[in-house]
Amino acid sequence: MRLTKKSHACIRLEKYGQTLVIDPGGFSEEDAAVGADAVLVTHEHPDHFNEGRLRTALEANPDAVVWTLRSVAEKLSAAFPGRVRTVGHGDTFTAAGFDVQVHGELHAVIHPEIPRITNIGFLVDGSVFHPGDALTVPAQVVETLMLPVMAPWSKVSEVIEYVREVKPRRAIDVHDALLTDLARPIYDTHIGNLGGAEHSRLAPGETTEL
């Protein structure tokens, strides 16, 4: 499986000529979802879900399908009947040849006075887990954790403890658009020294083989 990091929370996974994209939001490249055979969206926040980007991808590939939660599906279903599937915690499905399990139900707490929205994470091929905007711990082994490294709802101690709880072989940063270059070495040092897993980050467009 080949993993390509796109800007912020978006990744592309490829195998056997099929492409799966997760969270092509407004902080990612305009063509982040173009060429996808399937798209997964964790929740409705604009840095994870951009309606225009998804419409472009679905129009470019008439066979492409989106799997997401209800709040996102309602925005797309009418325009693309039969091509937007609603899923939730505990569901399993196959998308573009990838086996996917859904984990989690709620977005992380931003502030007690801000209502929590729904959020789901996706475990792909029993190996790569993208949690969206939550610190969801799947009930099974995770080989590669896509780690939300910096967000308004988290601090570095929580990020470190999350890696420790999931116990992946490796953690690769996502949700990093707000993290400045000055701060990156600090996060790299703390997570690398204390997380208990191999920790790395990829520049947008950079790939790695899993």
Domain range summary for the chain, segments of one domain joined by +:
2-209
Mean pLDDT for 172-179 is 97
Return the DSSP state at 139: S
Amino acid letter, 155:
K
- The pLDDT score that the predictor gives to residue 57 is 94
132 vs 14, 39, 52, 104, 169, CA distance in Å?
Answer: 19, 14, 20, 9, 19
CATH 3.60.15.10 fits 2-209, yes or no: yes
Q: Are the C-beta atoms of residues 137 and 166 closer than 8 Å to each other?
A: yes
- The pLDDT score that the predictor gives to residue 180 is 94
> Which tokens sit at 137?
């711990």
- The pLDDT score that the predictor gives to residue 138 is 97
Residue 42 — pLDDT band, cuts 50, 70, 90?
A: very high
Share of the chain above pLDDT 70, in %: 100
Contact residues for 106 (Cβ-Cβ < 8 A; gap 6+): 116, 117, 118, 119, 134
Q: In the chain, helix, strand, coil percent, each to 5?
A: 20, 30, 55
Mean pLDDT for 28-57 is 97
Q: Note the pLDDT tens digit of each residue in 79-94.
A: 999 999 999 999 999 9
Residue 27 — pLDDT band, cuts 50, 70, 90?
A: very high
Q: pTM above the 0.95 mark?
A: yes
Return the DSSP state at 70: H
Q: Which residue has the tokens 């969270």?
A: 23
